Amino acid sequence: MSRSDVVVLGAGIVGVSVALHLQARGRSVVLLDRKAPGEETSFGNAGIIERASVIPYTFPREIPDLFRYALNRSTDARYDPLFVPRVAPWLYQFWRASSPGRLKQIVKDLLPLIENCLSEHKALMAKAGIDALRRDRGWIEFFRRPRSFDKAVAEARALEAYKLRYAVLDPAALHALEPHLAQGLVGAVHWQDPATVTDPGKVVKAYADLFVRQGGILATGDARSLEADGDGWRVMTGSGPVEARDAVIALGPWANDLYRSLGYAIPMAVKRGYHMHYRPAGGAVANHTMLDVDGGYLMAPMERGLRLTTGVEFADRDAPPTPIQVDRAEAKAREIFPLGERVDPAPWMGRRPCLPDMKPVLGPAPRHKGLWFAFGHNHHGLTLGPVTGRLLAQMMTGETPFTDPAPYRADRF
């Protein structure tokens, strides 16, 4: 039997960040996962630390968009018709939260996390010695249609109160930055505040290595073995049981396997997504991470190759992959960039843990002493991992939080 101050369940970006921030505040921590750090949701994202994303991804409210998604033929969104009845209540909550009035408050609630996301990553990257994995050149969204370009420019200008740095690019300016894009694009918006990383999984592993170098314990085990034990918690690991005063559920899309068994009804859904790596053809180079807004996919230059990531798929979390969107994205991408052959043997599939109000759950479990929640980061797990790790560690150690944690409480639903 081993003992620790805290056991953190889940070694993705959120769990690793929580463990590091608790460790920095003098707590002994065991970090437990069934796999090595950074090999699930944290592995396959677009690699953007999205400092500019002050407006979260919302439910579409314009009739043309709703009709297009209903046809189920788009690259950026797809659904399993048999799954729709199960996810419909969540989609309704998501639609309500996306109304202009509710969204205004949600943006306000999320802003302290977004404002501090990049500085928190930079601090951890410096300690972990991985600054070379970060590119401080922002990312670009480009457009095929004038209507969508004009709309994006108007939306960017509406965000000027947040003092974000961006540039509106005409076709000539876009091709000066990205000369291997095809002609015919109508323009782009270059968001300059965010950073990108060339291997998100490697970033998480480097953070976990830092945790271990500083005395943390990395353990393998099934988080579902967690059980109350007197005034604390016990979980089984490959090396035997671990007891801790506090336990943190940071299991991303698998969090509901545990919190439901403890009696909590938190409305979390999973948005699945895919990626595939390609070798650029003919010596082509992508200098920035780029979103083809009208094509519905994203291209990110990674160490392994050019990563194409898809939008969302609403399907059962554990259903077999249906990488139709990868094929659609590839066809669209080949229209505007010289892609070569696929690098990966099969498309990778990940799962995004999403709450209908677009905010994570952070803080104490309402009915269990010493149990803490840290999950539901929607599309921004990589972005918000370190900053939410800091906030939760401050709450757990009695330190004054850098922002009011009330908007993220578990009992808000």
Q: Is this model's pTM higher than 0.95 or not? A: yes
Beta-strand (E) ranges in 226-347? 227-229, 232-237, 240-249, 269-280, 289-292, 297-302, 305-309, 312-314, 339-342
Average pLDDT, the chain: 97
Q: What is the pLDDT of residues 43-52, one digit of tens each?
A: 999 999 999 9
Q: How far apart are CA 286 and CA 105, in angstroms?
A: 37
Residue 172 tokens, joined: 């000539």
Mean pLDDT of the 247-256 span: 98
> Residue 235: which pLDDT band, with cuts at 50, 70 and 90?
very high
Contacts 24+ apart (CB under 8 A), 319-325: 319/80, 319/83, 321/274, 321/346, 321/347, 321/349, 322/78, 322/80, 323/274, 323/276, 323/347, 323/349, 324/78, 325/75, 325/78, 325/274, 325/297
CA-to-CA distance for 117 and 384, rounded, in angstroms?
6
* Residue 234 DSSP symbol: E
**pLDDT in the model for residue 213:** 98
Share of the chain above pLDDT 70, in %: 100
Superfamily of domain 2-43+201-267+357-412: FAD/NAD(P)-binding domain (3.50.50.60)
pLDDT band at 95 (very low <50, low <70, confident <90, very high): very high
pLDDT band of residue 66 (cuts 50, 70, 90) is confident
Q: What helix, strand, coil percent values describe the chain, rounded to 5?
A: 35, 25, 35
Q: What is the pLDDT of residue 1?
A: 60
pLDDT confidence of residue 62: 85
Compute the average pLDDT of residues 386-401. Answer: 98
**What local confidence, expressed as pLDDT, does residue 313 receive?**
97
In the three-class reduction of DSSP (H, G, I as helix; E, B as strand; rest coil), residue 275 is classed as: strand
Handedness of CA 314, 315, 318, 322 (dihedral sign): negative
